[in-house]
Amino acid sequence: MKPGNGIMDIHPLEMEIKKSMIKCAKKKILLVDSTKIFKQSLLTLVDFDEIDIIITDDKIEPESAEFLREKGIDLRIVPVN
């Protein structure tokens, strides 16, 4: 994920499959650890407005959480040990 670029991926061979899955889904849920949030990658998979829910750990930066919520994403933060 990166502001301005949306949800990103590094696997070009998997992109079309993932895009098809997202297109068919009624609800789009992304599970991602906080270290991957706003890291640059090679390819943009989808824009933020195509994601309904993001689930991540409690190490997410407050600014990142605020950005995602401002985009209308239901951000769910899960505590880790």
**Segment 9-51, tens digit of pLDDT:** 777 888 888 888 989 999 999 999 998 887 777 788 888 888 9
User: pLDDT value at position 29?
Assistant: 94
Q: Of the candidates 12, 41, 30, 37, which has an alpha carbon nearest to the alpha carbon of residue 73?
A: 30
**Segment 62-76, tens digit of pLDDT:** 999 999 999 999 999
- 41 class by beta-carbon count within 10 Å (0-12 exposed, 13-18 middle, 19+ buried): middle
In this prediction the pTM is 0.83
DSSP 11: -
What is the domain partition of the chain in residue ranges? 7-78
H or E segment to which residue 15 belongs: helix 12-24
Q: Residue 2 — pLDDT band, cuts 50, 70, 90?
A: very low
